[in-house]
Amino acid sequence: MIKRIGSCFILGLIINEILKGRVNSMSILIGPMKLHLNGHKELTSHGEVKNIVAGKKVFIPLMACTDVLVKAGDTVKAGTMLAKRDDHFKVPIFSSVSGKVLGIEELEHTTGRVIDHVVIENDGLNTFERPFEPIDAEKASVEELVTFMMNAGIVGCGGAGFPSYVKYKGAKGIHTLLINAVECEPYITADYRIMDNQVEELVYGTKTMLKMSGAKKALIAIKKTKKDLIAKVREAVKDTEGLFVEEVPDQYPMGWERTLIYEVFKKRYDKLPGEIGVIVNNATTAIAFSEALRYGKPIIEKICTISGDAVKNPSNVRVPVGVSVQEIVEQIGGYAYDEVRIVGGGPMMGKTVSTDRAVINSASNAITILKPDEDEAIACLRCGRCNDHCPAGILPVRINNAEEAGDVKLLTKLRADQCIECGMCTYVCPSKIEVTEGVRRGKALLRAAAQK
Ligand code: SF4
Ligand code: SF4
């Protein structure tokens, strides 16, 4: 049985670490706004990447998508365009398997939202058709590359899923392309494994993005503790003009765009990194872009970390988009307990889902599966730790109170919208209060008020 959880497991994580003696309470808190976490990355960082076979049906999520191009009964191949986003971002969505379209079904997504999915009956043949032709990135103009990126459906692969072409369209005054290969959340090692396996693609994708950005240099930011990967990437970029490796501290949330930019450039910005002349893209996005450029392959499969203390064999898997968590876990050995809690993403920033029918999507990088948290929260001690450690510089406990009171004016004043949902406030709370959940609800309240 799959049990719904909140994010209060994060405190359990830290307390467990202390009790196990792997870290001590003094060494965890290495300074305001950043923590060094025991990442549990050894569970998956060096094992084989297991291939997951899609079952009889796959469910392709239609995030923010209104223009569906197929109907029940249509035959599709892996690579067939199923839909196109019809909002500000015209990116397409492709089938990951060949077979027959059965219709549209509402399902919980790994973000916790219930959205439409195209249901495809998998014929098991995996017949592929190129939805677009490869392109010579050296010869293509910047405009052609931006259009290519849009039509290839390249989205941020670090979990956000933001259409990447938007960052390059009309980019001006950019001095640096920053490739985010930090992967700071506990348990997740998918980026590490992909970069280790596909370093040439990383270089090709980054080189092309550098051309599109108009910048003089690209920095590939990797945690300084990843010595083997740093050496490998340095070797791979040594003959490519403008590409460099940037070592950054092993702290959380170093992978958050603002933290990373501050670490590298010692600058802050208001809304977008472009304001200070920087474009940021995830390392696996660069790899996915390279595969599109060179092979005409859209993002129809993902390498994801399936890890946590409630899965028997934590693993990195190569899985077609649209395959459920349940099917993946079955194929890697099953759950370790009858009741588990499932998080779409890593344990800090990921969202809890109530069902293991949720599927892998083009932005997925991890599913974390944990033991249910039995401990109850107690009253706020007013210790102020959550405020002290918030990397966004806002006041989580006050935002929680404002949310409970439904005070939209105060939520606006407290800048609840600035929260990056990093999970740090819950992590440090000694009362086991799900502070992050309260701030998330506060943000939702603000959004709803803005829509009115
Ligand atoms: S308020 Fe948001 S940004 Fe600040 S610590 Fe909590 S989750 Fe992180
Ligand atoms: S960390 Fe927890 S106990 Fe301390 S002020 Fe914040 S909500 Fe209250």
Pick the residue whose CA is nearest to atom 5 on ligand 1: 390
Which residues fall within 8 angstroms of residue 169, CB to CB, at 6 or more apart?
A: 146
DSSP letter string, 298-337: -S-EEEEEEESTTBSS-EEEEEETT-BHHHHHHHHT-BSS
Cβ neighbours of 337 (radius 10 Å) = 17
What is the per-residue pLDDT across 150-166, written as a single tens digit (0 to 9) for each?
Answer: 999 999 877 667 899 99
Q: Rounded to an integer, what distance in angstroms lies between the CA atom of residue 357 and that of residue 109?
A: 9
Q: Is 25 a residue whose pLDDT tops 90?
A: no
Four-residue CA torsion sign, 206, 365, 198, 227: positive
| Residues forming a β-bridge with 359 | 324
Q: Which residues contact 452 (CB under 8 A, 6 or more apart)?
A: none
Q: What is the mean pLDDT of residues 107-132?
A: 94
C-alpha dihedral (32, 34, 253, 210), degrees to nearest 10 = 100
pLDDT in tens, 134-143: 999 999 999 9
Residues 336 and 312: beta-carbon distance below 8 Å: yes
pLDDT on residue 37 = 66
Q: Which CATH class is domain 142-295?
A: alpha beta
Cβ-count burial 21-59 (b if 16+ within 10 Å, e if not): eeeeeeebeeeebbbbbebbbebbbeeebbebebbebbb
Would the pLDDT of 18 be above 90? no
Strand partners, 101: 120
Q: 396 CB under 6 A from ligand 1?
A: yes
pLDDT at res. 95: 97
Contact (CB, 8 A) for 329 and 335: yes
Please give the DSSP secondary-structure letter assigned to residue 42: G
**Predicted local confidence at residue 49, as pLDDT:** 94
For ligand 1, whether the C-beta of 392 sits within 6 Å is yes
For the Cβ of 431 lying below 6 angstroms from any atom of ligand 2, the answer is yes
Structure tokens at 101: 């379209």
Query: How many whole angstroms separate alpha carbon 143 and alpha carbon 293?
Result: 14
Please tell me the CATH code under which domain 57-122 is placed.
2.40.50.100
Q: Which residue has the tokens 């502070």?
A: 435
Partners of 305 in the β-ladder:
316, 366
Q: What is the percent of the chain where pLDDT is above 70? A: 90
Summarize pLDDT for 295-305 with one digit per residue, the tens: 999 999 999 99
CB 157 within 8 A of CB 335: no
Q: Is 304 annotated as a binding residue?
A: no
Q: Would you say 147 and 137 are in contact if contact means Cβ atoms under 8 Å apart?
A: no
Mutate-to-test residue for ligand 2 from 14, 385, 403, highest number of ligand atoms within 8 A of CB: 385
Distance 18 CA to ligand 2 centre (A): 19
Identity of residue 239:
D
Quick check: CB of 384 below 6 Å from ligand 2? yes
- Strand, coil or helix: 245: strand
More confident residue, 375 or 29: 375
pLDDT digits over 213-226, tens only?
999 999 999 999 99
CA 209 to mean position of chain CA atoms? 20
For 9-52+300-370, CATH number out of 3.40.50, 1.10.3470, 3.30.70, 3.10.20 equals: 3.10.20
Q: What is the DSSP letter of 252?
A: B
Q: What is the mean pLDDT of the chain?
A: 89
pLDDT score of 20 more than 90: no
What is residue 452's predicted lDDT score, i.e. its pLDDT? 76
Lowest mean pLDDT among 11-15, 207-211, 313-317, 435-439: 11-15
Residue 128 per-residue DSSP state: B
- Is 60 exceeded by the pLDDT of residue 28? no
HSE value, Cβ hemisphere, 13 Å, CA-based, for 293:
26
What are the boundaries of each domain within the chain? 9-52+300-370, 57-122, 142-295, 385-451
Percentage, residues of the chain above pLDDT 90: 73
Q: Which residues pair with 281 in a beta bridge?
A: 179
The per-residue pLDDT for 65 is: 64
User: What was the pLDDT predicted at 142?
Assistant: 97
Enclosing H/E stretch for 248 = strand 243-248
Tokens of 264: 């590298």
Q: Is 212 helix (H, G, I), strand (E, B) or coil?
A: helix
Across the beta sheet with 57-61, the strand order is 57-61, 114-122, 99-108, 75-76
CA gyration radius for the chain? 21
What is the rounded average pLDDT of the residues 73-99?
92
β-pairing verdict for 49-51 and 99-108: unpaired
